[in-house]
Homo-oligomer: A and B are copies of this chain.
């Protein structure tokens, strides 16, 4: 592969290529690795966990499906399937919103909250093991900066990109 422009294609430079291979590897391996840990523990997916976590942090532990989808980095379709599963498990409930009959509010049950609290310590430990134990303070701030920049290009207007809350 060339280091410079190649015919009409703006090819990747060697620096970019190395960075891309590293990013692709992380993007491909990180979630499945965390997935496997959670699945062994509780037959739950990393995505499931994240849905529960996002819901738990919302006021009333409830959110409209659309909002929850945005916070969970998921399509509405994917979320719908997953919440149905979590509802069958007794961890969430869906109720039609009184304000707008199109809106479904997804809420965490007490059982769901308890399950999340039971899972959290080990999950946080996994995240620490896989990510933060290898990084110093500068890495962490660089990671946030770069992550947000990439996110801004993947999905312009995503809340996480602008959000600066602690």
Interface residues of A (CB under 8 A from B): 1, 3, 8-12, 14-16, 18-31, 33, 47, 50, 57, 73-74, 120-121, 124-125, 127-135, 137, 139-155, 158, 160, 166
Contact = CB atoms under 8 A, between A and B. Distances in A.
Nearest to A152: B134
Contacts of A155: 29
A140 B19 contact: yes
- Chain A facing B: main interface SS: helix
Given A26-B27, A73-B29, A153 B139 contact: no
A29 B11 CA distance: 23
A166 to B, nearest CB: 4
Contact of A147 (B16, B25, B140): B25
A76 B143 CA distance: 30
B154 A19 contact: no
Contacts of A22: 143-144, 147-148, 151, 160
Nearest to A136: B149
Contact of A73 (B8, B25, B125, B131): B25
